[in-house]
Structure 1
């Protein structure tokens, strides 16, 4: 198996696009199905075994919430 190139990007979406992606993710998690998403031209396949977390950061006047999905490709 070839190793994938490292990647660290952040993609902005409109409110409607973001809501649609969250709905698809919620449906996949709830039904126990694999989640597929395309980000900046690359299709990502999130396995059912992925772990989900929510992170909150605060620095000065800025706050951030990150919905994180992590898994290991073995």
Structure 2
């Protein structure tokens, strides 16, 4: 039972270290995104395109006439 508990504790510590390392790398990525003008422009364009894609499609008058018939 002691061996199992020690193994569990070791795995938990390893996961904690990995989570801390992942959080640090995410923070670096976030700070670089705001510092790099080219990345900022690209991110703004992507966000704009995402907004446009989320808008409903505007239908023409010809489309409405066909549905009414």
TM-score with structure 1 length normalisation?
0.27
Q: Which structure's residues are more often helix, by fraction?
A: 2
Larger RCO: 1 or 2 (CA < 8 Å, sep 6+) = 1
Q: Which of structures 1 and 2 has the bigger CA Rg?
A: 2
Q: Which structure's residues are more often strand, by fraction?
A: 1
